[in-house]
Chain A
């Protein structure tokens, strides 16, 4: 015990620097040779440093406490304290959140006002809703019910028809999704009355676009497509025409782009003043330079001559979804069409071989 204490005492003196040179040398030799003593030295050092830190800490605390006691904390804190009024308190605590919320509100109000000013032109919002349902109805109508003179009622499945057009020479046909929705089997028929079996290759229900692929081995490859797809939008008032199969023979419809948005401000579609009938769905909408600007997909029941067409932008999106190498001699995009400068009857003559009737069996 005594020896232990004396070693501790020496370590103390060593750390305090109060050993004389001879003792210091002897102790350092001892420390080097005895790890246990070295450990004790380190431990003692840590302990004394901590004690010193603790002492300083406590001393500072005491000083600060006495300073603090002289402070009039109440007076100091009054301006910062939660305000008795709840609103002021809320404002202080959530200043930034409130600012964000307020700017959002202002924005929302602005948007609402702009929506209201739009809806004024078309009457009430309810009316528009009804129109949407009417559109759905009319979209069903625009698919031609074939053989409806055969009154076999439900014993035979009904057959519907639409229109489609080639987007490549090797049998990729674009039409509306609603034409082929729920179909068991699909056929296309060209102007000569020959039918080929097709299958669904790609569908986009949101933009109402479907791409079909001919699987019939007898399908003769088409020549290079005469039309191209327009990259930009069509201008308001631009003269357009469509080809489709509202009856067994191909029918030309003629009109102009009457609005850059479809029903209910639908920005996916154009409104076109063009006579369309059941069976026109999926037909191409062309301008007079031979560019496809859209796909006819519906009309409004109550308004005469108001049809709707999916914008060509979404046709492009659909085409891009198909691996490039599966499309042979695919439709040109944003280029001058070979139909440019031709008279309309010449254009129609060239195009009609690429427009097909879609026959749907279910």
Chain B
């Protein structure tokens, strides 16, 4: 991939289609294309490069959720939406750590995105709940679940990786792990 290609920002249409198809190339272009905008915003508003990375990644996840939701409707440029989301997330983080009413220096137009942010907060809560459930699940269950659900490994692969005698055993094991995870998830 040449430098020129990497720096070119895909059109909104390409991005939306890419998100729906789960295209990694589009994710790459999207990520590289808009990161400097958020980096500038965060660095100029009391943040570090690490903060920029975290906020930007959260923002992209919100964008993915939005595009993949049933009632998706884009009423602005993707750039503006992404900026507004990241701005809001950063403002929230600032308010958690610093004194309130922090003055934000803006670099782009800002959208009203409270609904999306509320949805994101709800999902984020569940995400953290799942994360802590997985953490207390212990090995090998954690890896089995992650391999199966996140890395999309087949039962056969898991079977070989963990040395189960056949894939039925692995399946039973995975099933038990899932039940335990479910219990932990609802307990938290």
Contacts and interface: CB of A to CB of B under 8 A. Distances in A.
A294 B91 CA distance: 60
Interface of A: 5, 8-9, 43-44, 47, 50-65, 67-68, 71, 73, 76-77, 79-82, 92-93, 95
B129 A77 contact: no
Contact of B35 (A9, A71, A93): A71
B141 interface: no
A36 B53 CA distance: 44
A67 to B, nearest CB: 5
Interface string B123-146: 100110111001000000000011
B53 A54 contact: no
Contact of A53 (B32, B40, B52, B127): B127
Given A63-B24, A64-B60, A68-B31, A77 B123 contact: no
B182 A47 contact: yes
A43 B186 contact: yes
A64 B36 contact: no
B179 A8 contact: yes
Given A60-B64, A80-B39, A81-B43, A53 B149 contact: no
A50 B130 contact: yes
B80 interface: no
A57 B24 contact: no
A194 B60 CA distance: 93
Contacts of B40: 79-80
Given A81-B43, A93-B44, A57 B179 contact: no
Contact of A77 (B27, B49, B130, B185): B49
A61 B39 contact: no
Given A50-B129, A95-B105, 13 more contacts: A44-B182, A53-B123, A54-B126, A54-B130, A54-B150, A55-B150, A64-B27, A65-B57, A68-B57, A71-B32, A76-B39, A77-B49, A80-B39
Interface string B155-181: 000000000000000000001000101
Contacts of A93: 44, 105
A57 B186 contact: no
A63 B27 contact: yes
Contacts of B150: 54-55, 58-59, 62
B32 A47 contact: no
Given A54-B130, A60-B64, A63-B27, A76 B149 contact: no
A95 B186 CA distance: 50
11 contacts: A50-B127, A51-B145, A53-B127, A53-B130, A54-B149, A64-B27, A67-B28, A67-B31, A76-B35, A77-B39, A80-B39
Contacts of B49: 73, 77
Contacts of A5: 179
A32 B24 CA distance: 43
Nearest to A81: B43
A266 to B, nearest CB: 41
Contact of B149 (A55, A60, A80): A55
A83 B131 CA distance: 39
A57 B182 contact: no
Given A47-B186, A64-B31, A73-B49, A80 B130 contact: no
Contacts of B149: 51-52, 54-55
Contacts of A67: 27-28, 31-32
